[in-house]
Amino acid sequence: MPKVTIAKIEGRARGGGSEIALAMDMCFTAIGKAIFGHPEVAIGLVPGGGATQRLPRLMGRGRALEVLLGCNDLSAELAERYGYINRALPAEELTPFCREAGLPHRSFPAHAIAHAKAAVDTGAFSSITEGLLVEAHASDLSVVSEVTQARVKEALKAGAETYDGELEMDYLSRLSPTR
């Protein structure tokens, strides 16, 4: 999917619920409320919604097997430490954080998001050689985009290559939204 997807977990995400969260681009959770787990193997099932493929890529083989074969719950803090999720936050900070995390992407050029995601996915799920080739191609496609060219001009005009612009990057908030 060429758009950004974010999972916000404030309760239990076991089995299929966990697999839906794993399929998102990013996952943020509430400390003390979010729980992750895969009980399938304990009852004779193999997870069938992507957990056996996504967990090892996120946390490594050993930890993935610990989660999948252990069938125990993981707290938000442990899930964060294992790489299962992006970040565990205090419950009262979760909604504002997720809202903020999603907002900047709304004004970013859609083609840049789509190409960056495709390159990351190829690199994460294929060889580094294939990933680098896809990245180079995606980079070339973004450079020739009229939207990108106009946005680069706008960023330069707003001070992107000045000392303060490079140091603080506050010019990003002044760029026109793209659709």
| Sequential DSSP letters for 22-39 | HHSSEEEEEETT-EEE--
**∠ CA 136-144-164, rounded to 5°:** 85
d(CA 76, CA 17): 15
- Say which DSSP state 108 is in: S
Of 40, 100, 146, 166, the catalytic one is: 40
Contacts of 3 (CB under 8 A, 6+ apart): 105, 110, 113, 114
d(CA 2, CA 85): 20
- Say which DSSP state 42 is in: G
d(CA 59, CA 166): 33
- 154 catalytic, yes or no? no
Of 10, 19, 93, 168, the catalytic one is: 19
- 19 catalytic, yes or no? yes
d(CA 49, CA 105): 27
Among all residues, which ones are annotated catalytic?
Answer: 19, 40
